């Protein structure tokens, strides 16, 4: 198809005078309020990319479990060629400018942002360097000076916008800030991003209603803006938003740039109205620069090299299509590759004399739109900005404080989620009632020995099964946020660990009460008060062990499926060595040793002792009634090998062990989330 | 249904003679205002108008694009035209094809509808996919005719270079996304529809591929077809390809006409498309309602209203109405162009489906391995912990055996559940779509699935039995081994069938797997008598236990293992009466735990195997219910 075909029109007189003819009536009326609430008042920043060449091994980027699923053996994993993802890229952006990276999918937009923020994986920089304010970019430097807004919004769904921001503010702002200052900062950011009308609305997610998609995007930006960074990097901020919202978001970003910040964003298919808002544009194709310069000069540039943009065409679309590689057939691929290469060469030729590598209209040396506007801002710093200095980190809140904030956040989020709590409660009660009534002692009759034993074992092994699935699913849903926040240096692992472990206790407690108490009462177990409490605490510990195990598994393994499969396998191992399905003394060496860490075994032995120690049972065999003291029953199942307190101690030990493993996994395993398999 | 006595002559008659007129179609839904727990607002209903008085007219050889922001009613309009709209709301207005109004059951046979998501079997090649579809749709044709048809469709959609490549799925690569979309379209073309509707055919494709698809569609339209697509953010290059552009906003047709008319119409309204912007984007934005603030909403809404008014006054709209009227009057002369369709007999449909499912699974390496190995892995897991059974009661002769029986019951049904949850939802999605196209009924696909799992289930249970039975040292008689297999096969199948039945009415596989797992555990608790002795259970549960397959399966397994088994007690032959060794032989154990079981074995087997047909019927009913649930 001939893409340059325009449409010729003959103008005719208007025929519908009834329709309002105000051509100036803008489609997109931005919010009236155009003032800047919150400017960046630190020193201006410069981001430079010099002659960057970057290679990626595509094979190495596929995670190991996907390779296993394809039956690829470990020794075949790292074969594959290096492909060039970036070829001699030059770039210079300064504070007050907004640069948009555009290009077709696969052109290297996201890769570029990842390299700049030092989050690249599987590739290596062949040559060139990235400088932030003249210093070589490193993880530390990026953490301190760059705010990275990711494509997916990772926010706790049940907190309101204001709460979300105040929790982050507590973590992110230096300790020297007073509570008022912190609140003020939150309010400023809310005002700056026009979030006032939804400040008290839940954030929400795909399953829970909350703020709209565009607002959620802005909350993500607000989270990063809180600490007043000089450089803001956004990956596809407009994807998934409708046209009005996207337009407004980009206006917001350009306003942020006017507030003396450096804004860098990648965008796929910008609409024409959005394209017109950009200051600077970088057009990439397979890692090569096709154009970099002001947005409004782009059409002029391409016209000057012989590619005019047709009248009814969006220049961004038109030139992205012009420079994208067509893989439909071999010939087309070669042809388009050749065109891209020559375009990149032409551009390289044109800008090689400029030190900022931007194409400029020759005749009148127009200035960049940036520096002017940023000077005009009334620089009345609202308060001391955070300086990008080395010793600034020391001012940030420390462990204990982080812990308190995280705990508070965790609990607030969980308790707002009423429906999930209700479902879990309902699940517990339903299971309790089923088991309770199934073993319901008729007319005060005692349960038979066999049934009592079976009940004691089932009671201890059904709940853990349900708990494991719940915990693994929940941890994996939070994993992406944890990964990003740890990466951003918002807090460290230790406070998170303690906040998570302690934050789960109330829910755990409630669950065990709902589950365990009705069964005990319905099935008419040992009526002693002390027995009731001992039984309850044993149940509590057993369920806690399985919870800790699930936490460990979900932190250790990369996907929901693998985590739940492995925790199921571990659980089954504990189940088989629990002493009920298979007699303990018939186990051979290996499973026998496994049975020492089987929390179900210790729980079972414990409740057996609690139940039977002081009771005597009567059974009838051939009309002879035999009294069986409880001790014999305990002995017959080998549950008396260790005293009762040993059960308690070992259970505490096992759960502590799982928690330590959980901590180590959090610490040393990347919590990168890969939700879909 | 009686569309083609003689397809070849019919097509000639129909040449350039197909038209569709949509007249004043409106669709309203009554919805509840609040969520269920807010009782007061829940009982208040409000009426939402999704489509309002949409009229347009099209002839063969034209392609129309429906534009609009999300929520403007594009998809609903397509649904309404194709008669796939649910019973939830009220649909007014008429759809005429060649001047005659369609009856409710004729819609399916007249329109082809390509959905936004491609649901194709991942392990079939392109040619196989199309051939099976052709066999389902046109079975009365000869093999050669089908083959020719498939080849010609592949040529038409330029799929010949990938004809023998597998389609591919999420984890492994096959053909590209654009090619997959083309296969979906090709599958519809097999039936030679005259009117093709496509819901967002370009979504999720990069711009090149998207443009290519639209180009192909316009070529299809040129060959005497009507093509209607809904499209989101089309590129400006596509501008000239469309014969008609319809812009929707808030359920109203803001404009419908050819591209030149569109530009001049909006010019006349005083909205000139600015230079260097995409007219599609510009006009869609111009005609959508901005709901961010009350004032903006009123302002934009009144603008939309003014434009709609202008359109109603325009010549294009008047012409459309005239066309529609003239079409209605001349309805006697022309026939409705039905798709080619010779419904094969139900049995042969089932056979085709069966062959297709088998072919798909036969290439699915991981699927087969999973089906066969899961049971074995589970068996080896038990073997690892148990190694060998003992005959001494003090060393767990009774306890361990009951434990093994319990694991065989619970484990095999759980693996059945895992299989169904992993492999069936993908097929279910395809069944949903193809049954909407009228190729077959959902339950036929289900039955084909059940048939094709049978050999795998039997084989996997045999492997399971072989790897556990002799190593652990269950009763070594060969007939008993046979009984063991027969009694564990049913739990394995039941686990899968139960999951299938629930998958028919519940969509989310995660919920299904959790629910069915609990259901199985409950069944074991109540029915097996291993965990709770059957005689002492409360009466209600005793009754319930009769409808659990676990009851029968467990009784067989226990009798099979314990009958005529001699126990020792601490090394010597026990004489009974001992508190530690209540049993001297297996028969005593059977009599205490399952009184009368020995005489009931045949009955148990009959009952156990009766569960399978009953459950299959249950599955079919559940998928009949799904027919109603899915028809939205």
Q: Which of residues 531-570 of B touch A (CB under 8 A)?
A: 531-533, 536-538, 541
Q: How many residues appear in chain B?
A: 632
- pLDDT score of B576: 52
Residues of chain A with pLDDT > 70: what percent? 82
Q: How far is B256 from chain A (nearest CA, A)?
A: 16
A to B CB pairs, distance under 8 Å: 227
Q: Which of residues 470-529 of B touch A (CB under 8 A)?
A: 510, 514, 518, 521-522, 525-526
A583/B399 Cβ within 8 A: yes
**Please, which residues bridge with residue A557 across strands?**
none
- pLDDT score of A365: 45
- pLDDT score of A320: 85
* Element housing B100 (H / E): strand B100-101
B533 contact residues in A (CB cutoff 8 A): 448, 450-451
pLDDT at A367 over 50: no
Q: How far is A33 from chain B (nearest CA, A)?
A: 14
Closest-CA residue in chain A for B381? A573
- From residue B147, how far is each of A537, B131, B339 by CA, in Å? 71, 7, 18
Q: How many residues appear in chain A?
A: 677
Smallest Cβ–Cβ distance between A244 and the set B290, B514, B526 belongs to B290
Smallest Cβ–Cβ distance between B278 and the set A313, A447, A594 belongs to A313
The C-alpha atoms of residue B310 and residue B255 are separated, in whole angstroms, by 9
- pLDDT score of A44: 82
- pLDDT score of B344: 64
- Report which of residues A677 and B64 the model is more confident about: B64
A458/B233 Cβ within 8 A: no
Averaging pLDDT over each range in A288-292, A646-650, B99-103, which range is the top one?
A: A646-650
Instruction: Report pLDDT digits (tens) over B184-232.
Output: 999 988 888 888 999 888 877 777 788 888 999 998 898 888 999 998 7
Closest-CA residue in chain A for B576? A621
- pLDDT score of A651: 94
Model-wide pTM > 0.95: no
The C-alpha atoms of residue A655 and residue A661 are separated, in whole angstroms, by 10
Q: How far is B358 from chain A (nearest CA, A)?
A: 21
pLDDT at A391 over 80: no
The C-alpha atoms of residue B632 and residue B627 are separated, in whole angstroms, by 10
- From residue B465, how far is each of A561, A581, B607 by CA, in Å? 27, 19, 22
Instruction: Report pLDDT digits (tens) over A318-337.
Output: 888 888 777 667 777 888 88
- Report which of residues A480 and A353 the model is more confident about: A480
Smallest Cβ–Cβ distance between A585 and the set B211, B285, B395 belongs to B395
B279 lies within 8 A of chain A by CB: yes
B536/A243 Cβ within 8 A: no
The C-alpha atoms of residue B579 and residue B570 are separated, in whole angstroms, by 12
User: B365-386 and A560-576 helices cross at what angle (nearest 10)?
Assistant: 20
Instruction: Report pLDDT digits (tens) over A551-598.
Output: 999 999 888 778 888 888 899 889 888 888 888 877 888 888 888 889
Q: Which residues contact B489 (CB under 8 A, 6 or more apart)?
A: B457, B458, B461
The C-alpha atoms of residue B595 and residue B558 are separated, in whole angstroms, by 12
Q: How far is A14 from chain B (nearest CA, A)?
A: 4
B391 lies within 8 A of chain A by CB: no
The C-alpha atoms of residue A526 and residue B520 are separated, in whole angstroms, by 29
Q: Which of residues 356-385 of B touch A (CB under 8 A)?
A: 365-366, 381-382, 384-385
- pLDDT score of B85: 75
Which residue ranges in chain B fall short of pLDDT 50?
1-15
Smallest Cβ–Cβ distance between B385 and the set A311, A315, A591 belongs to A591
- pLDDT score of B204: 75
- pLDDT score of A426: 84
A622/B577 Cβ within 8 A: yes
Strand, coil or helix: what is B25? strand
B117 lies within 8 A of chain A by CB: no
Q: Mean per-residue pLDDT for A118-133? A: 77
pLDDT at A362 over 80: no
Alpha helices in A325-417 (DSSP H): 330-351, 369-376, 399-416
Instruction: Report pLDDT digits (tens) over A406-450.
Output: 999 988 888 887 777 887 888 888 888 888 888 876 555 667 788
Return the sign of the alpha-carbon dihedral for residues B122, B126, B128, B130.
positive
- pLDDT score of A81: 66
Please give the structure tokens belonging to residue A373.
């506007």
B206/A105 Cβ within 8 A: yes
Q: What is the DSSP letter of A673?
A: -
**Please, which residues bridge with residue A619 across strands?**
A626
**Residue A393's pLDDT band (cuts 50, 70, 90):** very low
- pLDDT score of B80: 85
Q: Which of residues 201-230 of B touch A (CB under 8 A)?
A: 206-209, 211-212, 215
Closest-CA residue in chain B for A21? B270
A314/B276 Cβ within 8 A: yes
A437/B525 Cβ within 8 A: no
Mean pLDDT for chain A?
79
Read off φ and ψ for residue A98, nearest 5 degrees. -120, 120
B366 contact residues in A (CB cutoff 8 A): 69, 71
Smallest Cβ–Cβ distance between A582 and the set B208, B260, B385 belongs to B385
Instruction: Report pLDDT digits (tens) over A38-71.
Output: 677 777 888 888 888 888 776 666 777 777 766 6
Q: Which of A27, A31, A214, A464 to mutate to test the interface with B (most CBs of B within 10 A)?
A: A27
Q: Mean per-residue pLDDT for A630-652? A: 84
The C-alpha atoms of residue A429 and residue A406 are separated, in whole angstroms, by 30
Closest-CA residue in chain B for A574? B385
Each residue of B87-123: b (16+ CB within 10 Å) or e?
Answer: eebebebebbbbbeebeeebbbbbbbbbbeebbbbbb
- From residue B437, how far is each of B136, B188, B230, B341 by CA, in Å? 11, 9, 19, 11
Q: Is ipTM strictly over 0.85?
A: no
Of residues B236, B323, B305, the one with CA closest to residue B274: B236
């Amino acid at each position: 198809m001939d893409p340059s075909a325009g449409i010729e029109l003959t103008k005719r007189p208007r025929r519908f005078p009834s329709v309002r003819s105000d051509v100036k009536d803008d489609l997109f009326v931005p919010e009236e309020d155009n003032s800047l609430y919150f400017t960046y008042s630190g020193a201006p920043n410069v981001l430079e990319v010099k002659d960057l060449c970057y290679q990626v091994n595509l094979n190495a980027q596929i995670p190991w479990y996907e390779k296993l699923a394809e039956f690829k053996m470990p020794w075949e994993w790292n074969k594959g060629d290096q492909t060039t993802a970036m070829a001699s890229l030059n770039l210079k952006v300064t504070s007050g400018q907004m640069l948009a990276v555009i290009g077709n999918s696969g052109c290297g937009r996201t890769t570029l942002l990842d390299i700049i923020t030092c989050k690249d994986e599987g590739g290596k920089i062949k040559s060139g360097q990235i400088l932030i304010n003249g210093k070589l970019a490193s993880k530390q430097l990026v953490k301190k000076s760059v705010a990275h807004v990711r494509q997916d919004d990772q926010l706790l769904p049940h907190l309101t916008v204001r709460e979300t921001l105040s929790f982050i503010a507590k973590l992110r702002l230096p300790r020297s800030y007073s509570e008022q200052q912190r609140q003020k900062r939150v309010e400023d950011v809310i005002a700056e991003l026009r979030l006032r009308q939804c400040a008290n609305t839940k954030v929400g997610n795909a399953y829970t209603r909350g703020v709209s998609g565009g607002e959620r995007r802005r909350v993500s930006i607000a989270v990063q803006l809180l600490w007043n960074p000089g450089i803001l990097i956004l990956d596809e901020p407009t994807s998934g938003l409708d046209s009005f919202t996207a337009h407004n978001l980009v206006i917001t970003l350009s306003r942020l740039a006017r507030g003396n910040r450096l804004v860098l964003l990648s965008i796929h298919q910008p609409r024409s109205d959005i394209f017109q808002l950009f200051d600077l544009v970088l057009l990439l194709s397979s890692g090569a620069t096709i154009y970099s310069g002001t947005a409004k000069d782009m059409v002029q540039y391409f016209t000057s090299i012989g590619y005019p943009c047709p009248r009814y065409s969006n220049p961004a679309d038109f030139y992205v299509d012009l420079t994208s590689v067509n893989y439909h057939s071999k010939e087309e691929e070669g042809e388009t590759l050749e065109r891209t290469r020559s375009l990149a060469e032409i551009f390289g030729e044109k800008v090689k004399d400029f030190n900022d590598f931007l194409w400029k209209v020759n005749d009148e040396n127009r200035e960049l739109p940036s520096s002017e506007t940023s000077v005009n801002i009334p620089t009345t710093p609202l308060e001391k900005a955070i300086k990008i200095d080395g010793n600034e980190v020391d001012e940030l809140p420390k462990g204990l404080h982080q812990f308190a904030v995280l705990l508070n956040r965790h609990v607030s989020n969980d308790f707002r989620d009423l429906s999930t709590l209700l479902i879990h409660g309902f699940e517990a009660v339903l299971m309790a009632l089923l088991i309770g009534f199934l073993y319901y002692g008729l007319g005060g009759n005692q349960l038979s020995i066999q049934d009592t034993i079976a009940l004691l074992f089932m009671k201890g092994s059904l709940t853990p099964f349900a708990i494991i699935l719940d915990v693994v699913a929940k941890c994996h849903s939070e994993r992406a946020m944890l990964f990003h926040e740890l990466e951003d240096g918002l807090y460290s692992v230790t406070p998170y660990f303690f906040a998570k472990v302690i934050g789960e206790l109330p829910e755990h407690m409630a669950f065990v009460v709902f589950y365990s108490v009705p069964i005990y009462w319905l099935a008419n177990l040992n009526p002693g008060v002390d027995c009731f409490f001992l039984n309850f605490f044993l149940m509590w510990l057993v369920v806690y062990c399985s919870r800790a195990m699930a936490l460990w598994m979900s932190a250790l393994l990369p996907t929901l499926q693998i985590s739940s499969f492995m925790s199921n396998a571990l659980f089954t191992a504990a189940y088989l060595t629990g002493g009920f399905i298979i007699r303990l003394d018939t186990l051979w060496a290996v499973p026998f040793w496994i049975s020492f860490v089987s929390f179900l075994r210790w729980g079972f032995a414990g409740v057996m002792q609690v139940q039977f120690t002081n009771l005597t049972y009567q059974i009838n065999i051939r009309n002879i009634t035999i009294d069986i003291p409880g001790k014999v029953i305990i002995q017959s199942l080998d549950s008396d090998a260790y005293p009762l307190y040993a059960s308690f101690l070992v259970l505490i030990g096992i759960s502590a062990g799982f928690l330590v493993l959980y901590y180590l996994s959090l610490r040393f395993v990347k919590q990168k989330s890969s939700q879909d398999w | 249904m009686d569309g083609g006595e003689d397809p070849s002559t019919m097509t000639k008659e129909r040449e350039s003679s197909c038209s569709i007129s949509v007249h004043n179609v409106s669709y309203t839904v009554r919805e509840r205002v609040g969520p269920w727990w807010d009782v007061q607002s829940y009982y208040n209903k409000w009426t939402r108008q999704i489509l309002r008085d949409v009229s347009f007219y099209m002839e063969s050889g034209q392609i129309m694009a429906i534009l609009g922001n999300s929520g403007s009613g594009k998809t609903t309009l397509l649904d309404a035209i194709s008669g796939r709209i649910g019973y939830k709301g009220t649909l007014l207005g008429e759809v005429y094809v060649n001047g005659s109004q369609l009856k409710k059951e004729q819609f399916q046979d007249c329109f082809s509808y390509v959905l936004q998501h491609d649901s194709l079997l991942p392990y079939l090649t392109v040619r196989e996919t199309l051939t099976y579809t052709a066999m389902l749709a046109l079975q009365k044709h000869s093999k050669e005719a089908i083959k020719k048809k498939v080849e010609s469709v592949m040529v038409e959609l330029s799929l010949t270079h990938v004809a023998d490549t597998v389609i591919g799925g999420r984890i492994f690569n096959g053909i590209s996304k654009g090619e997959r979309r083309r296969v979906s379209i090709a599958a519809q073309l097999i039936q030679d529809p005259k009117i093709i509707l496509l819901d967002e055919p370009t979504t999720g494709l990069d711009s090149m591929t998207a443009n290519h698809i639209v180009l192909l569609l316009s070529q299809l339209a040129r060959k005497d077809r009507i093509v209607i697509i809904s499209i989101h953010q089309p590129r400006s290059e596509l501008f000239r390809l469309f014969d008609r552009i319809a812009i929707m906003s808030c359920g109203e047709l803001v404009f419908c006409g050819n591209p030149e008319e569109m530009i001049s119409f909006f010019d006349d309204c005083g909205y000139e498309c600015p230079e260097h912007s995409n007219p599609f984007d510009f006009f869609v934005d111009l005609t959508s309602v901005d709901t961010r603030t009350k004032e903006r909403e009123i302002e934009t809404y009144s603008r939309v209203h003014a434009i709609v008014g202008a359109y109603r006054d325009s010549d294009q709209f008047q012409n459309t109405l005239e066309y529609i009227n003239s079409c209605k009057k001349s309805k006697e002369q022309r026939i409705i162009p039905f798709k080619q369709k010779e419904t094969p007999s139900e049995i042969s449909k089932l056979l085709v489906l069966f062959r297709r499912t088998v072919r798909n699974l036969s290439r699915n390496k991981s699927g087969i391995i999973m089906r066969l190995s899961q049971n074995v892995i589970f068996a080896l897991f038990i073997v690892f912990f148990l190694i060998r059974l003992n005959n001494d009661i003090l060393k767990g002769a009774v306890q361990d055996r009951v434990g093994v029986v319990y694991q065989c019951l619970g484990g095999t049904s759980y693996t059945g559940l895992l299989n169904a949850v992993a492999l069936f939802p993908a097929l279910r999605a395809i069944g949903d779509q193809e049954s909407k196209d009228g190729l077959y009924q959902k339950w036929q696909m289900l039955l084909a699935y059940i048939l094709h799992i049978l050999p795998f289930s039997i084989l996997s249970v045999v492997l399971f039995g072989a790897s556990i039975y002799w190593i652990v040292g269950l009763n070594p008689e060969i007939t008993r081994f046979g009984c063991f297999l027969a009694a564990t096969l049913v739990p394995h199948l039941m686990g899968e069938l139960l999951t299938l039945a629930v998958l028919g009415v519940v969509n989310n596989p995660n919920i299904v797997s959790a629910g069915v797992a609990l259901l199985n555990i409950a069944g074991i608790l109540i029915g097996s008598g291993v965990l709770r002795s059957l005689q002492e259970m409360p009466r209600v549960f005793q009754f319930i236990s009769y409808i659990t397959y676990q009851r029968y399966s467990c009784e067989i397994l226990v009798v099979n293992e314990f009958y005529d088994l001699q126990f020792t007690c601490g090394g010597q032959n026990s004489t009974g009466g001992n508190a530690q060794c209540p049993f001297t032989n297996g028969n005593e154990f059977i009599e205490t735990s399952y009184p009368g079981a020995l005489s009931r074995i045949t009955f148990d087997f009959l009952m156990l195997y009766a569960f399978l047909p009953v459950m299959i019927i249950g599955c079919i009913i559940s998928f009949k219910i799904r027919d109603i649930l899915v028809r939205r």
